[in-house]
Amino acid sequence: MVEMEPWEEHAIRRPHLPERVTVYEVGPRDGLQNEAETLSLEVRAEFIDALAEAGLPAIEVGSFVSPKAIPQLADSEELYRRIHPVSGVRYPALVPNLKGLERALSVGVREIAVFTAASETFNRKNINAGVDESIERFRPVVARAKEEKIRVRGYVSTVFGCPYEGDVSPEAVREVVHKLLDLSVDEISLGDTIGVATPADVYDVIEALYDSGVTRGVLALHFHDTRGTALANVFAGLECGVTTYDASAGGLGGCPYAPGASGNLATEDLLYMLEGLGVATGVTLARVVEASRRLAESLGHRPSGRYLAAVWGSNG
Ligand code: HMG
Ligand code: MG
């Protein structure tokens, strides 16, 4: 007998997806680092508080990097002093070196993220270090953070493509992921910095990582939505069992050192799809929309998120 494809039998086999995922909000950091205008501390603190009230379990507040590199977030210490922490919510910050860690510790930060890349050129442009050099730079940072019992995320940028070098191989990703894991980071976020991935690339990279012993609980996925594939990529990630997804309220975002990159996957778009799939997040979509609406008033332009455009219509 000739075997039939599922669609010929009209028997759709639904994939088994995780029941619950963590949405890691990067809007206040990845979103606002890419805005031409620096928003006031008051507006940013209100944005972060509104996101926490919406039920987001992790909100990246800012970064302790060189003020010359990212002037928009230069006052992250003061921002940490202004927010009203909600019990159970994590408030991580980006830290590139020991100086950044000292700044973070001075305002009681309990979770940091170090960041490197799978391609040399992007890493040099972004943090003025090659990949191996950056790992050596992180070694004392992660060791000190561990002494302080601080949770550490390790970002890997350009996992699916580099704005300067083009294609990046899953092997290059695997190598840098293992170097970060050897430093004892708690989580690895795989960044599609310039939004080039398709689901096939997601399967390839995650397969290479699983085959090399990386466990799924360690991974997070961070998609920029430059080519409209971010949600499809999340779906591929869900099929692979990944349970942490980065997203940015309104779909703001980008990296000034990644030409051509546009906003992150919008938190609202992600939540809408997860709700439809019955994957729990604990986040109230309408409250995230409200946080984005308030922020948009200060930004003076409409964020690019698709769900927002649908609910705001032409008069939003
Ligand atoms: P450098 O020039 O090699 O650093 O920059 P340096 O150690 O030689 O210091 C140069 C100057 O910066 C000195 O000041 C330092 O004090 C100061 P000066 O003496 O000239 O007045 N400095 C600092 N100031 C404040 N806080 C610090 C700090 N460190 C040095 N922590 C460095 C190296 C890493 C500092 C710089 O390149 C930098 O800050 N880069 C950050 C770039 C960045 O934030 N990019 C965006 C975030 S990454 C991203 O968006 C991707 C992601 O979303 C994932 C994805 O999408 O792929 C995470
Ligand atoms: Mg990013």
Q: Is 73 in the pocket of ligand 1 (CB under 6 A)?
A: no
Q: 19 CA to middle of ligand 2, Å?
A: 26
Whether the predicted pLDDT of 281 surpasses 90: yes
pLDDT digits (tens, 9 = 90+) for 95-131: 999 999 999 999 999 999 999 999 999 999 999 999 9
Q: Is the pLDDT of residue 315 over 60?
A: no
Average pLDDT value over all residues in the chain = 95
Q: How far, in Å, from the CA of 127 to the mean position of ligand 1?
A: 6
Residue 16 lies in a domain: no
Closest protein CA for atom 24 of ligand 1: 66
Q: What percent of the chain has pLDDT above 70?
A: 98
* pLDDT value, residue 127: 97
Does 2 map to a domain?
Answer: no
Quick one: average pLDDT of 259-274?
94
Residue listed under structure tokens 């939003």: 316
Give the DSSP H or E segment for 146: helix 131-147
Q: What angle separates helix 199-211 from helix 170-182, to the nearest 10 degrees?
A: 50
Residue 5, domain member (yes or no): no
Does residue 314 surpass a pLDDT of 70? no
| Least confidently predicted of 87-101, 130-144, 182-196, 293-307 | 293-307
**Within a domain: 11:** no
Residue bearing tokens 């922020």: 295
Structural domain contains residue 4? no
Residue 18 domain-assigned (yes or no):
no
In this prediction, what percent of the chain has a pLDDT beyond 90?
A: 88
Question: What pLDDT is stored for residue 253 in this prediction?
Answer: 85
Residue 236: the pLDDT is 98
Where does the pLDDT of residue 183 fall: very low under 50, low under 70, confident under 90, or very high at 90 and above?
very high
Secondary structure tally for the chain: helices H, strands E: 12, 9
Distance CA 191, CA 95 (A): 16
203-215 pLDDT, tens digit per residue, is: 999 999 999 999 9
Which residue's CA is the nearest one to ligand 1's atom 12?
66
Confidence at residue 11, expressed as pLDDT on a 0 to 100 scale: 74
Q: Which of 10-14, 59-63, 217-221, 281-285 has the lowest mean pLDDT?
A: 10-14
Tell whether 207 is covered by a domain.
yes
User: What pLDDT score was predicted for residue 163?
Assistant: 96
Instruction: Provide the pLDDT for residue 74.
Output: 96
| Residue 239: domain span | 23-314
pLDDT band with cut points at 50, 70 and 90 for residue 176: very high
Q: Would residue 275 count as lying in a domain?
A: yes
Q: Is the CB of 65 under 6 A from ligand 1?
A: yes
Domains in the chain: how many in total? 1
Burial of 85 (0-12, 13-18, 19+ CB in 10 A): middle
254-274 burial, b if ≥16 CB within 10 A, otherwise e? bbebbeebbbbbbbbbbbbbb
Alpha helices by DSSP H, listed for 160-284, are: 170-182, 199-211, 230-239, 267-277
96 CA closest ligand 1 atom index? 34
- Looking at residue 68, which CATH number applies to its domain? 3.20.20.70
